[in-house]
């Protein structure tokens, strides 16, 4: 079995709605996304998927949607209203709940799965150098 891995670093802000603790307040992270694809066979050029292609497609999506954005729970009307008052902003809304590392990992996994199907093995989202969440399917 072959496994390819790319890493994309991005900065984003978020807060956790109804959380009791520091993460209740708006704050930011330098996130690190790891995307892993696997295959038993290689293409005619010897790749699972060309790293350049992976970085272009996934990196572009992250840059357009999450990098330097505020990641917001759709139920967080107070924060959405505050952000709406800004002239310059980039907001990405999650209908599935708080923008935790777990939710980001699942969301990115689903996006990569649309591009590459069952080649996607897992996605990790590092929220800090010491902790990450990952999503994969059995």
Residue 38 φ then ψ, to 5° = -135, 155
Residue 23 known to be catalytic: yes
Q: From the centroid of its chain, how far is CA 107? A: 6
Residue 127 known to be catalytic: yes
- Per DSSP, the three-state class of 16 is coil
**The one catalytic residue among 27, 53, 68, 78:** 68
The Cα 60–Cα 110 span in angstroms is 16
Residue 27 known to be catalytic: no
- Per DSSP, the three-state class of 121 is strand
**Which positions are annotated as active-site residues?**
23, 68, 127
């Amino acid at each position: 079995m072959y496994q390819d891995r790319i890493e994309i670093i991005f900065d984003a802000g978020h807060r956790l709605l109804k959380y009791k603790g520091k993460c209740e307040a708006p704050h930011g992270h330098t996130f690190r996304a790891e995307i892993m694809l696997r295959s038993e066979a290689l293409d005619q050029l010897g790749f699972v998927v060309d790293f350049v292609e992976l970085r272009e497609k996934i990196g572009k999506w992250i840059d357009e949607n999450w990098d330097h954005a505020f990641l917001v729970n759709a139920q967080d009307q107070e924060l959405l209203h505050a952000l709406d008052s800004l002239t310059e902003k980039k907001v990405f809304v999650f209908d599935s709940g708080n923008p935790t590392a777990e939710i980001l990992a699942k969301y990115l996994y689903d996006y990569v799965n649309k591009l590459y199907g069952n080649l996607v093995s897992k996605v990790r989202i590092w929220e800090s150098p010491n902790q990450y969440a990952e999503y994969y399917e059995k």
